[in-house]
Structure 1
């Protein structure tokens, strides 16, 4: 974020209006006794992150208040006469008197927040698409298109609770053995993604989707297939994710599903060649079976030269995150600083809004309980949660793909990719490599002619690599013994035979009833009372549950689901404020 927009962003993020600093700052270097005796005033102090600014406040006779990590600042109370000196102290970038603060109305207003779904759908052109029609005369809202969401589950919160909106696939998570938790989102991430893709409030009337008082996702009439793989503590193995992808491929044409899009807001830090990596092979097989696979590139930052797996697969749609800088003008948008840059061979195909995105909240879910400051405080119903990451950006693109597929059901995944990338808007201020083709413009994609049918000319993957290497640095562990699940076995302890699996994966027959890789994976009876002898949970993908680097070192979209870690600089700090 540019320094000049930080305080504006803070006001937008909190729903407050803050009076600006009046008059020039003096050049004094320390507070005098007279200044210290003056009445105290509230201020906002922008700092350099070294801790020197906090020390300067205390020396000036003030007190440090709440940290506003979203804008690199904190609140403080200091003697009025010390403000000028404080503004030039070491570590202080700026001091703004926190003038009269007033709410922007009785409730949060979506059209006043550039990170809300109303502003987001307007900026990418979705609102104009909703008024267009398909060949049958139906408006383009994603009707009839199934989007599979492999994630932490989907909670039946308002906006996702309409009959037929969410269809539960098998729960492949470690919580599936607890009936009260089966298919539900105990973490909060999957629901956030689902809201972005296809949320729709029950009060939204047909033809009035662009209602700033209602919550509406990018493809509000698409239906979601809930593929839960992650538990609240983050425990999940790459074999579970591959099994979920295979299930989606096997059942894509089942009555009522019509799965045309697969959203994967994650990635492992596998360094295995994507032509060999099983996770990469699984998404390529889904792509070749007619499913548009949308994957986040990761959140390791613009200087990171390797995107996550399976985004490394060149066939699928790899998505980076754009930052609107809290303005409605897309001309000044940049690639978010947390979005993985990649290299000349593989980087994001395009970017979509992914900074401080407002979507649906899971009350008392892990992230909700851990980071309550990410809730939208001005919303009386407390329905919304703000989050950043290439995870959110991927969800935006998944919704856009659903709109295109309703308009032109015969599109192949390659044609969808070509339409979205060829019509993306260049970002003059954005990182040239990390933005790929530019920022998503779904209105332009809907208007563009259908590309010629062609196949991307990449060497096909084989899937004959190592399951263990596909895990990268992430392993689930037995919570009692600390023993990690490693080697060429899945969570059932079943041997991994790449050649045999790759063959059935290619044909879309990896699942036989409730059986995958030779064992029963029904989501209800895992062929044993305790997961083939061990209850895998504990250290999860990253060796430290959710407060380390999340699902897998640098997995599930970089070093976490969002930003740079759930507990470091993300949900509660620079990306989730």
Structure 2
């Protein structure tokens, strides 16, 4: 039986089976007789600022309180139809949403009727206006010629991402790289969702006249996207794999046909290590100083943690929080999504971008697709789309915007890109100051702004901290032996010398051919195969960290089950652990 590698920390997901009649912990059970028959009741999701007051408001309205939805500070309730409007205005109630499972699936979904579709997002952010322009060479501004590296769970060749001239597979550094049928494939679903938001584009789409809501278009639909796969079918990855991927991007940034100018990392750990010492922080800072604009998700800890995820804590990179459109096309009512990390007065997000209930491309058969069916868009007759929320999505949208700027002005430094995006962001008057950063992304304003003269001068990181502290509480583990990967060694079992590595990372020489930290991780050539351009793979024969070898085994999405590992439980309420920023894939948090 193949070993199953897991991230050992479960982050909250909203894939919750809604069942009426459960009691919300901490909310008094108030006896009440409904004033309406069951035929007149509607199931709703109540989000609260005061749980007690909201529960009392439901019972006073003749309704009943149901199952808690802790990820959104809310609960399910059934209330009389004629009391929904009054409930929305009741003290302690932040919002009331009709449950998406009740009576809504029959309606045909249209992208132009959904404020969180990419059809709407590219308009709200100003990307559509940018596409109508041309660069100094007369080429349409869609990110053409700009390489965006996506370090994630891979990219599947779904419609909109099956253009082999623009979508390139870098090395597969995940555990699945040892299985030819899984190599480069996104068995998880997160990477495909991010890729679509960054650079998806349906064939034949004319960006100058985008008016057909049946077309899918990401923020930079002409950009080159380089997928560097590090995560397996349940999102499992070790921080050493992510660092190796960042180093690979730096080493190969100027390769023919790549021109990597943007790096998207919708990833974060809960490391509390000083960002000047943390190896993951040093890796992104080194990429930044080599001319790569690094965009990272700020995290999805809401107000429960007083710091951003690592490496968003690094002050050089662009840390992005998630904005909530409130389901409207206007931006005047936008707020910071409740799950978006606020950070602290010393380091908070730099700006926000749309990040709640974003409709991206579905990856059929992936872990997310199979396990979170409520992420499917009700009424989508094509079956192509999947909805997700998180600072992951916000980071991806911002990465696409950065690619547009870099086509317009190729000589921009990462510091200048950051300044342009933050100085032109739209104000968010209804959002809390710490969580909104400079405001919400507006690429049209950034496009029209003059090139700033700016150089960031934060204290330089050293990267000499520990690899173990960089992992935080997220570890991959072998449930067969019960051994987690811990301490100062990478997934190959090689000893980690922070001083030696940090020096090479700073110089951009951490990779030597296909070798990183003394082990062969990948091949050295990029070729054209039957599925497009892909980096050569190598066999990790004999690799181990716990005294046993694991390479050469058969990896399959079917092997990821609901068992426990490392003393923690894989349940229906978790999906990947903290390492992938806790994105949510369920209608239970949609407006």
Report if TM-score (shorter chain) is over 0.5: yes
> Is the 2:479–2:566 Cα contact (8 Å) retained in structure 1?
no
Task: State the distance in 2 between where 1:511 and 1:333 align.
Answer: 43
Q: Deviations over 1:228-282 (max 9, x none)?
A: 1000123211000000000000001111101100000011111111111110000
Matches within 5 A, 1:184-199: 184-199=185-200
> Is the 1:473–1:542 Cα contact (8 Å) retained in structure 2?
no
Matches within 5 A, 1:167-566: 167-302=168-303, 304-452=305-453, 454-522=454-522, 524-531=537-544, 533-535=548-550, 544=569, 551=576, 554-557=578-581, 560=582, 562=583
Task: State the distance in 2 between where 1:87 and 1:434 align.
Answer: 24
Task: State the distance in 2 between where 1:144 and 1:365 align.
Answer: 30
Closer, same or farther: CA 305–105 of 1 in aligned 2, 3 Å: same
Question: Counterpart of 1:20?
Answer: none
Q: Which has the higher contact order (CA 8 A, sep 6+)?
A: 2
The residue matched to 1:249 in structure 2 has which SS? helix
Task: State the distance in 2 between where 1:166 and 1:403 align.
Answer: 17
> Is the 2:198–2:219 Cα contact (8 Å) retained in structure 1?
yes
Closer, same or farther: CA 467–73 of 1 in aligned 2, 3 Å: closer
Structure 1 position 211, deviation (Å) = 3.2
Q: Deviations over 1:299-341 (max 9, x none)?
A: 0003532001001110010101111111111111111111111
Query: What residue ranges of structure 1 are gaps of 5+ in the alignment?
Result: 1-28, 563-569
Task: State the distance in 1 between where 2:540 and 2:413 align.
Answer: 38
Task: State the distance in 1 between where 2:566 and 2:147 align.
Answer: 28
Structure 1 position 434, deviation (Å) = 1.4
4+ runs deviating over 6 angstroms: 48-54, 60-71, 80-98, 101-106, 536-542
Task: State the distance in 2 between where 1:496 and 1:319 align.
Answer: 30
Question: Counterpart of 1:44?
Answer: 43
> Is the 2:270–2:471 Cα contact (8 Å) retained in structure 1?
yes
> Is the 2:482–2:565 Cα contact (8 Å) retained in structure 1?
no
Task: State the distance in 2 between where 1:429 and 1:498 align.
Answer: 44
The residue matched to 1:331 in structure 2 has which SS? coil
Closer, same or farther: CA 542–394 of 1 in aligned 2, 3 Å: farther
Closer, same or farther: CA 491–322 of 1 in aligned 2, 3 Å: same
Question: Counterpart of 1:567?
Answer: none
Task: State the distance in 1 between where 2:68 and 2:361 align.
Answer: 25
The residue matched to 2:43 in structure 1 has which SS? strand
Task: State the distance in 1 between where 2:89 and 2:119 align.
Answer: 40
> Is the 1:45–1:92 Cα contact (8 Å) retained in structure 2?
no
Question: Counterpart of 1:575?
Answer: 589
CA RMSD of aligned residues (A): 3.8
Closer, same or farther: CA 548–461 of 1 in aligned 2, 3 Å: farther
Task: State the distance in 2 between where 1:329 and 1:82 align.
Answer: 27
Closer, same or farther: CA 518–576 of 1 in aligned 2, 3 Å: farther
| Worse-matched range after superposition: 116-125 or 519-528 | 519-528
Query: What residue ranges of structure 2 are gaps of 5+ in the alignment?
Result: 1-30, 524-536, 552-559
Task: State the distance in 2 between where 1:520 and 1:376 align.
Answer: 42
Structure 1 position 95, deviation (Å) = 9.8
The residue matched to 2:415 in structure 1 has which SS? helix
Q: Deviations over 1:510-564 (max 9, x none)?
A: 1111100011101733442454634499978995558676655x4332xx2x2xx
> Is the 1:550–1:556 Cα contact (8 Å) retained in structure 2?
no
- Please give the TM-score of this superposition, normalised by the length of structure 1: 0.83
Q: Deviations over 1:367-392 (max 9, x none)?
A: 11111111112111111111110000
Question: Counterpart of 2:557?
Answer: none
The residue matched to 1:150 in structure 2 has which SS? strand
Task: State the distance in 2 between where 1:320 and 1:87 align.
Answer: 26
Task: State the distance in 2 between where 1:71 and 1:201 align.
Answer: 37
The residue matched to 2:250 in structure 1 has which SS? helix
- Please give the TM-score of this superposition, normalised by the length of structure 2: 0.81
The residue matched to 1:191 in structure 2 has which SS? helix
Q: Deviations over 1:70-103 (max 9, x none)?
A: 895657598x9999999999999999999xx987
Task: State the distance in 2 between where 1:188 and 1:39 align.
Answer: 39
Question: Counterpart of 2:27?
Answer: none
Task: State the distance in 2 between where 1:501 and 1:97 align.
Answer: 53
> Is the 1:159–1:215 Cα contact (8 Å) retained in structure 2?
yes
> Is the 2:253–2:260 Cα contact (8 Å) retained in structure 1?
yes
Task: State the distance in 2 between where 1:65 and 1:273 align.
Answer: 39
